[in-house]
Amino acid sequence: MRSMVERARRSVHILAPETGIRFGPMRQRGRKTMDLGLSGKRALVTGGTKGIGRAIAELLADEGCAVAICARKADEVAEAVAALRAKGVAATGKAVDVSDTPALQGWIGQAAAELGGLDIIVPNVSALAIGADLAAWKSGFATDILGTVAAVEAAMPFLEKSDAGAIVIISSVSGREIDFAAGPYGAFKAALIHYAQGLANQLAAKNIRANTVSPGNTYFEGGVWHQIETGNPSLFKTALGLNPTGRMGKPEEMARAAVFLASPAASFITGTNLVVDGALTRGVQL
């Protein structure tokens, strides 16, 4: 019996967070990590200068992708592009407001030309519209919905030419459960999940996958929760206490989920909403 247990122990696949997914006993001894198959791919990330978007862009670059990013501030775009190039990959970027459809779509065409095509697009920008007034609804619709749809439409001719086209839309757990941000933000994030699942069905025959990542509360310097921690400590403490892990997520944790879904390693995953929230949400996703 002991020898049987030992053989089983040696043959199982082992998950080691610090080095990635490892395979079988022979590869285990060589510390072989899973290849996501992203080297040489070309990716575009909106809102790529800070937070989750920045983490996604950097991880894509670490995996060997050429990367294009945009954000509203030219100086922040320039700094982020320089950091990406320092990783040894081609990178380009421009100051673009994604709610300006002609500017956004024009830039995507330009970025694709610079990179020699596109394999991956990650619409990440949100207006973070939380107020209940009509202006918040208009802002959120123009940025979260139209900004995403316009980006996907502009990227589509290039994705159709790719042998592994992937769309990864950044949604939110606010699209699944009503919280203090109930209103435009949650409604638009829910709509993005619906949109992505529709794309997955429509584009499967073209070998283009579409998925969403729904982050839970994510903390980084200068981000929303950092601002809440400073301006409304009681709300921050309450939000922190709601998570069974006792903490908030990190941008790089959200990025790992997005980059995996964007990669050929996830070739049979499409139409999925991947929740990354440390068990914050209580609802069952069916």
- Helix 146-159 crosses helix 101-115 at what angle (to 10 degrees)? 30
Q: Are 216 and 276 in contact, with CB atoms under 8 Å apart?
A: yes
In a domain, 130, yes or no: yes
User: Percentage of the chain surpassing pLDDT 70?
Assistant: 87
Q: Is residue 61 part of a domain?
A: yes
Secondary structure of residue 20 in the 3-state scheme: strand
Pair of tokens at residue 92:
């380009």
Residue 133 lies in a domain: yes
User: Active-site residue among 126, 162, 174, 185?
Assistant: 185
Within a domain: 15: no
pLDDT tens, 184-208? 999 999 999 999 999 999 999 999 9
Q: Which of 62, 74, 8 is nearest to 38 (CA)?
A: 62
Q: Is 99 among the domain residues?
A: yes
Which token pair is 111?
């970025």
Within a domain: 283: no
The question of whether 189 is a catalytic residue gets the answer yes
| 45 falls within a domain | yes
**How many structural domains compose the chain?**
1
pLDDT (tens digit, 9 = 90+) per residue, 249-268?
999 999 999 999 999 999 99
pLDDT digits (tens, 9 = 90+) for 91-119: 999 999 999 999 999 999 999 999 999 99
Q: How far is 265 from 279, CA to CA, in rounded Å?
A: 25
Q: Are 125 and 138 in contact (CB under 8 A)?
A: no
Pick the catalytic residue: 189, 214, 219, 263? 189
pLDDT, position 59: 99
Q: Residue 32 has what pLDDT?
A: 57
Cα–Cα distance measured from residue 285 to residue 134, given in angstroms and rounded to the nearest whole number: 30
CATH number of the domain encompassing residue 256:
3.40.50.720
For residue range 28-40, list pLDDT tens digits in order: 455 556 799 999 9
Nearest to 210 by CA among 143, 266, 252, 126: 266
Which strands sit side by side in the sheet containing 165-170, from one edge to the other? 91-95, 66-71, 42-46, 120-122, 165-170, 208-215, 273-276
Is 285 contained in some domain?
A: no
Range of the domain at 65: 39-276
Does 17 score more than 60 pLDDT?
Answer: no
Task: Give just the sign of the alpha carbon dihedral 125, 180, 215, 249.
Answer: positive
Tokens representing residue 268 in the block: 């049979």
| C-beta neighbour count of 198 within 10 angstroms | 12
What tokens were used for 248?
């908030």
